[in-house]
Structure 1
């Protein structure tokens, strides 16, 4: 039975020492029972979109886990759509910075009976050349899955309500970009769609597919900043056990995990910009 350890939203930087204890606690669990694959589902760094050193530290600490690493970019690693991050739009320079430290930013890993597909959600909807290249990659990855079951990973959830919700906001893949995901989302072997970004832990099942939101390794957000978003505010990671035809997903939140609130750390992380 293959296992995947999903790490998300570690927000690491050498400019502070925040959140490293939480990562170390999860690494301790991984060293006791190593997974077959580690997927870092975005925001490995605090501000890799503008700081090489943040990505370098994040890559080193994630790469120290005892399993191969598939690292996927988050909005704080490469910037994102200019509609949601006008001060850090996704561009070639930011993508290349991520690739230099963390790898391609998308990939396929085949495990026993399964195909793991990791995608870059931050390019989606931008019109950047990488978006078209990734669309081709998605189609080929789905077509080549054969009889394998599929586990899909990306930073932003595909949607927070339903696929057809046309709301274009900070929380999910832009509605106009979701069609490129259909080769995977409509594949009969799809069993897991796992994401991060929301700093919330939640699992729902639609048909035979589990949609899992990974908890953050860093901080939780005040509910007033996420109106209407369901989920548990807890820090930790997810362990996905790939059974023959379904996924068993377990929350890892060992004793000693810290659960700081963003507002208490804002001066060290993401200060508000004065009007």
Structure 2
């Protein structure tokens, strides 16, 4: 790949063989990407409709991702391995068992990939504040990947958005990364180490500069959420 590589960023396809509500949209997306011929597709989580409870959804999502016309890289979302532990009831929270099922069906949940002048670092935002051994492993992996990037520009890919309008904000909605996780990332975001943060989850399209870092949200490929803003917080 060269510095002019075409990278497509998609998110939240919510795929399922048992409940193929969004398969039609996926077929349209496959056709569109085949015509545009990207060199790489990044997927911002929620690959499966209910992978946290139904492993067959994860396996189906993997088969669908393998239909993409090029290499792809993904991070898990709450529909894949459960909700972030700090804000979830036990029945819906991320667990090591759910994470292991994702690793078996999809592959690594945090990773680093170099393309052109960029280093893209994928993070599993669902294990933040979990206390799992993998959380500490991921934090060390992130530090090493950034330290060893050399002259490459750095982008982070996460399912959860870091924040709404400021790293220092108080989040009363529960939609964004926990404050302690945001503080950890701020070391890199405010230190000029990271130029771009990509995320899904919100089902909204946004491109905003926050504290000098570009934050891009990808909408869901599956559906349009709450067009009348009747129930969802108004995030602009």
Whether the aligned pair in 2 keeps the contact of 1:199 and 1:214 (CA below 8 Å) is: yes
How much has 1:118 moved relative to structure 2?
Answer: 0.7
In structure 2, list runs of 5 or more residues that go unmatched: none
How much has 1:71 moved relative to structure 2?
Answer: 1.4
How much has 1:203 moved relative to structure 2?
Answer: 0.9
1:211 to 206, 215, 218: 215
Whether the aligned pair in 2 keeps the contact of 1:8 and 1:40 (CA below 8 Å) is: yes
Q: Does 1:177 align with 2:181?
A: yes
Match of 2:30 in 1: 27
Q: Secondary structure at the match of 2:198?
A: strand
Distance 1:2 1:186 in 2: 27
Q: Deviations over 1:29-63 (max 9, x none)?
A: 22123222211111000110011111011111112
2:18 to 15, 20, 34: 15
Counterpart mapping for 1:1-275 below 5 A: 1-86=4-89, 87-167=91-171, 169-186=173-190, 188=192, 190-206=194-210, 209-222=213-226, 223-230=229-236
TM-score, normalised with respect to structure 1: 0.79
How many residue pairs get matched? 230
Q: Secondary structure at the match of 2:151?
A: coil
Q: Secondary structure at the match of 1:171?
A: coil
Q: Secondary structure at the match of 1:224?
A: coil
Match of 1:250 in 2: none
Pairwise CA RMSD of aligned residues?
1.7
Distance 1:168 1:21 in 2: 36
Change (3 A) 1:154 1:37: same
Whether the aligned pair in 1 keeps the contact of 2:17 and 2:57 (CA below 8 Å) is: yes
Distance 1:21 1:229 in 2: 28
Distance 1:221 1:54 in 2: 21
In structure 1, list runs of 5 or more residues that go unmatched: 231-275
Name which of structure 1's ranges 178-187 and 7-16 shifts more when overlaid on structure 2: 178-187
How much has 1:6 moved relative to structure 2?
Answer: 1.4
